[in-house]
Amino acid sequence: MIVVLKSNTPREKTQQLIDEIKSQYSGVACHCNEGTQVTIIGLVGDTSHVDMDSILAHQDIVERVTRVQEPYKMVNRKFHPQNTVITLDNGLQIGGTQVVVMAGPCSVESEEQIIEVATKVKASGAHILRGGAFKPRTSPYAFQGLRAEGVELLLKAKEATGLPIVSEVMSAAQIPLFKDVDIIQVGARNMQNFELLKELGRLKKPILLKRGLSSTIEEWLMSAEYIMAGGNERVILCERGIRTYETFTRNTLDISAVPILKHLTHLPVIVDPSHGTGITWLVEPMAKSSIVAGADGLMIEVHNNPERALSDGAQSLKPETFDGIMTSLRRYAQVEGRTL
């Protein structure tokens, strides 16, 4: 349920109303969103017994009261009309006017590899370094990642280049290792690992939540709701393709998810055309499409030697290819009134 207040409602009156609702309905939490135009009180929890008329009776401050039909509340744009902008420690903003590019190898493989890729993608204008330390692999015999050592190497690359880092966590037990990682990624395979999502909800760190392999947009938003309901409002959604009957591409990249999410939620939305297609030559056109569709950022796999990559070599760009793509993406961002 949302309570839209009249403009210029004094803060004390807003607080009085919140206190009144909270004391009357235990189990209902109030989230106040003070926008430039309008202040909204979002009620979450079991609101079935909340009497709308008694709230509307505060005629001097209440403009309207509406029930929110969607099962996701805190991620809902109705609760928070303005875009959420997530600011990293170095000041970089995700969800603002800049299109943010996260680039790097699928897996961290060695110190030389990650430092070389980090240095090159930075020179091409990438804003964030990606690299998997814990790898979710279909085969238990495939490279599983350097694990804790991989995180250490990412931190070295961060120190060497100044780039913030994003890396995937696969279980709650690994969370302490991510203390100095700027953004924690939840991979497609863990999108509905609800216990993990609850743990991440206790953190204050940004969480990059990838779309599950066969998840609907609503299921994805409900997973984001788990993180936000736990108190962590810093969630970034990442479209990375879904399973369809098409076999030409590794996944079917759902570009329409971008404007749909922008309509439904205030959270930043990025696109991963590397996992979304699995094919290097599709990365550029899909990255361009993502920007035109309104994405706030991109995640692109780049490897210094894709032929020898320990994972996802077929979809990883060479640094020089990435460099060329960045130049053309900048023009697309500009046309959309954004920077890159």
Which parts of this chain interact with Mn ion (CB under 5 A)?
106, 312
272 vs 287: CA distance, rounded Å: 8
Q: In angstroms, what is the minimal distance from the CB of 132 to ligand PEP?
A: 5
Nearer to ligand PEP, 188 or 309 (CB): 188
How do 165-169 and 183-186 pair as beta strands?
A: parallel
Length of the chain as a residue count: 340
How many CB atoms are closer than 10 A to CB 40?
18
Residue 275 in the binding site for ligand PEP (CB under 6 A): yes
Out of 95, 104, 132, 278, point to the residue binding ligand PEP (CB under 6 A): 132
Part of the chain binding ligand PEP (CB under 6 A), chosen from 18-26, 49-57, 186-194, 214-222: 186-194
Q: Cα Rg for the chain, rounded, in angstroms?
A: 21
Out of 106, 217, 237, 271, point to the residue binding ligand PEP (CB under 6 A): 106
Q: In angstroms, what is the minimal distance from the CB of 189 to ligand PEP?
A: 6
Nearer to Mn ion, 40 or 309 (CB): 309
Contact 43, 229 (CB under 8 A): no
Nearer to ligand PEP, 21 or 102 (CB): 102
Residue 136 contact among Mn ion, ligand PEP, none, beta carbon within 5 to 8 Å by kind: ligand PEP
Distance of CA 107 to the CA centre of its chain: 20
Residue 136 in the binding site for ligand PEP (CB under 6 A): yes
Q: In angstroms, what is the minimal distance from the CB of 164 to Mn ion?
A: 19
Residue nearest to Mn ion (CB): 106
Smallest Cα–Cα separation from 191: which of 173, 169, 166?
169
Out of 95, 164, 187, 201, point to the residue binding ligand PEP (CB under 6 A): 187
Residue 188 in the binding site for ligand PEP (CB under 6 A): yes
Distances (CA, A) of 67 to 41, 101, 261, 265: 12, 37, 20, 16
* CB burial readout 198-235, b (16+ within 10 A) else e: ebbbebeebbbbbbbeebebeebbbbbbbbbbeebbbb
Distances (CA, A) of 91 to 139, 234, 326: 39, 15, 21
Residue with tokens 């009134």: 337
Part of the chain binding ligand PEP (CB under 6 A), chosen from 4-12, 28-36, 181-189, 219-227: 181-189
Out of 158, 240, 250, 266, point to the residue binding ligand PEP (CB under 6 A): 240
- Residues near 227 by beta carbon (within 8 Å), at least 6 away in sequence: 197, 200, 201, 207, 209, 235
Contact 290, 256 (CB under 8 A): no
Part of the chain binding ligand PEP (CB under 6 A), chosen from 67-75, 90-98, 185-193, 318-326: 185-193
Distance of CA 267 to the CA centre of its chain: 7
Out of 73, 122, 127, 210, point to the residue binding ligand PEP (CB under 6 A): 210
* 3 state SS of 131: coil
Q: In angstroms, what is the minimal distance from the CB of 166 to ligand PEP?
A: 9
Residue 187 contact among ligand PEP, Mn ion, none, beta carbon within 5 to 8 Å by kind: ligand PEP
Residue 188 contact among ligand PEP, Mn ion, none, beta carbon within 5 to 8 Å by kind: ligand PEP
Contact 154, 108 (CB under 8 A): yes
Total of residues contacting ligand PEP (CB under 6 A)? 9
Q: In angstroms, what is the minimal distance from the CB of 226 to Mn ion?
A: 24
User: Which tokens go with 327?
Assistant: 């130049």
Residue nearest to ligand PEP (CB): 187
Give the type of residue at 30: C
Which residues contact ligand PEP (rule: CB under 6 A)?
106, 132, 136, 187-189, 210, 240, 275
